[in-house]
């Protein structure tokens, strides 16, 4: 039997975590969709912030990582017609599963579409997305429909391979997810993101994940080198994660919207818009503010320097181990 979500339960969860009631409801709906997806099955692996949350539930973690969308990876190769049928059938099946948990999802067929699916054959690693609508039923009333984004990626190399996960939702009983991203691969993907387009939320995830979990540096390094081989990313940029050097990264967080990382930090941490930058531009290039990523913004460092010091403390062991495998730069070889 599944416990039913109620308005009172969401309000209690919001008070416990420091999130807003709206953020608690959003998370409840995301996890309700995942519970149904686990029941339906299919060749889909969960990745992203919802997986990250599951590795941050230790007693020392008093700041919740929030999620606003669901990221899946299809473990079968992309084929335009077959994949479109498969996605439509899967999404319709998941949204029409009936569980006595107080949640309702609009049947996918009522608004069936997948962004970018017509262009996916032109991409080696396509990602398609859609919108899912859901609400919470509470007695004779219901909350307004809430819309969240669902992404599905294809053709990704999954090494280490997917792992099962005993998923603990914010409300209700735990459930079994048969296929989720291995922690070492998730960390490698976040490190790769920090090479090509660093984001504050990825820096924060690494800062929280690495010290509090058993991380296999060899597995992370293998996955990271695979990613870098595909897009020619410079793995040597890992150095910028240490010693407070991230502001000197060639594409520091927000580099396309502001002149300095300090300005980007003021937006992300404090919500202060940089001069002459509009909200849309800032969100595009810096990302959503910390208030959309964590439940207790005030628990984060106030100053960028303190944040970068914590980043160094959390990552220096892993990064230094990974850099041992990086060949010397050509200029260094010539000088020798």
Q: What is the pLDDT of residues 245-254, one digit of tens each?
A: 999 999 999 9
Positive or negative, the CA dihedral 185, 190, 193, 194 is negative
| Distance of alpha carbon 226 from alpha carbon 157, whole angstroms | 8
Angle CA 34–38–41, to nearest 5: 130
| DSSP string of 68-88, one letter each residue | -EEEEEESS---HHHHHHHHH
Q: What is the pLDDT of residue 285?
A: 86
Q: What is the pLDDT of residue 80?
A: 85
| Distance of alpha carbon 298 from alpha carbon 225, whole angstroms | 36
> Hey, which residues does 135 pair with through a beta bridge?
104
Pairing of strands 146-153, 69-74: parallel
Give the H/E segment covering residue 103.
strand 103-105
Give the H/E segment covering residue 170.
none
| The model's pTM | 0.93
Residues in the chain: 336
**241 contacts 194 by C-beta, under 8 angstroms:** yes
Angle CA 311–183–291, to nearest 5: 50
CB-count burial class (<10 Å; 0-12, 13-18, 19+) for 118: exposed
For residue 265, give the nearest of 232, 302, 295 by alpha carbon: 302
Distances in whole angstroms, Cα of residue 18 to Cα of each of 135, 160, 170, 290: 22, 34, 13, 13
| Distance of alpha carbon 128 from alpha carbon 153, whole angstroms | 6
Q: What is the pLDDT of residue 58?
A: 54
How many Å separate Cα 331 from the centre of its chain? 36
Residue 173: CB atoms within 10 Å? 11
Q: Residue with structure tokens 């509009």?
A: 278
| Distance of alpha carbon 148 from alpha carbon 107, whole angstroms | 14
Q: What is the pLDDT of residue 122?
A: 66
Q: What is the pLDDT of residue 332?
A: 43
Residue 20: CB atoms within 10 Å? 14
Profile the chain (336 residues) by mean pLDDT over runs of 10 residues.
86 95 98 98 98 78 89 94 96 98 97 87 84 92 94 96 97 97 98 96 97 97 96 97 98 91 95 76 87 95 98 98 80 41
**Token pair listed for 291:** 């208030």
Q: What is the pLDDT of residue 59?
A: 44
Q: Is 326 helix (H, G, I), strand (E, B) or coil?
A: coil
**Token pair listed for 210:** 């690495």
Q: What is the pLDDT of residue 274?
A: 75
**226 contacts 253 by C-beta, under 8 angstroms:** no
Q: What is the pLDDT of residue 335?
A: 40
């Amino acid at each position: 039997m599944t416990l039913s979500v109620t308005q009172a339960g969401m309000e209690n969860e919001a008070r416990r975590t420091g999130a807003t009631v709206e953020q608690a409801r959003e998370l409840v709906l995301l996890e309700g969709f995942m519970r149904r997806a686990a029941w339906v099955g299919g060749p889909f692996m969960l990745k992203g912030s919802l997986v990250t949350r599951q590795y941050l539930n230790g007693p020392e973690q008093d700041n919740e990582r929030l999620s606003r969308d669901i990221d899946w990876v299809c473990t079968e190769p992309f084929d335009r017609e077959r994949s479109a049928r498969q996605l439509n059938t899967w999404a319709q099946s998941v949204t029409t599963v009936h569980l006595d948990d107080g949640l309702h999802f609009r049947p996918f067929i009522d608004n069936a579409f997948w962004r970018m699916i017509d262009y996916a054959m032109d991409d080696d690693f396509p990602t398609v997305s859609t919108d899912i609508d859901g609400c919470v039923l509470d007695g004779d009333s219901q909350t307004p429909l809430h819309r969240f984004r669902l992404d599905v990626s294809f053709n990704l190399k999954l090494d280490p391979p997917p792992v099962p996960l005993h998923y603990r939702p914010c409300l209700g009983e735990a459930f079994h997810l048969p296929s989720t991203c291995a922690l070492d691969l998730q960390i490698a993907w976040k490190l790769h993101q920090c090479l090509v387009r660093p984001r504050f939320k990825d820096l924060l995830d690494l800062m929280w994940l690495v010290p509090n979990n058993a991380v296999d540096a060899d597995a992370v390094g293998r996955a990271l080198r695979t990613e870098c081989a595909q897009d020619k990313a410079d793995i040597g940029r890992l150095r910028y994660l240490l010693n407070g050097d991230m502001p000197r990264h060639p594409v520091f967080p927000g580099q396309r919207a502001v002149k300095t990382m300090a300005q980007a930090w003021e937006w992300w941490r404090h919500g202060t818009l940089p001069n002459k930058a509009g909200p849309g531009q800032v969100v595009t290039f810096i990302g959503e503010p910390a208030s959309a990523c964590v439940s207790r913004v005030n628990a984060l460092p106030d100053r960028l320097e303190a944040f970068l010091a914590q980043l160094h403390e959390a990552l220096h062991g892993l990064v230094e181990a990974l850099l041992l495998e990086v060949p010397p730069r050509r200029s260094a070889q010539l000088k020798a």
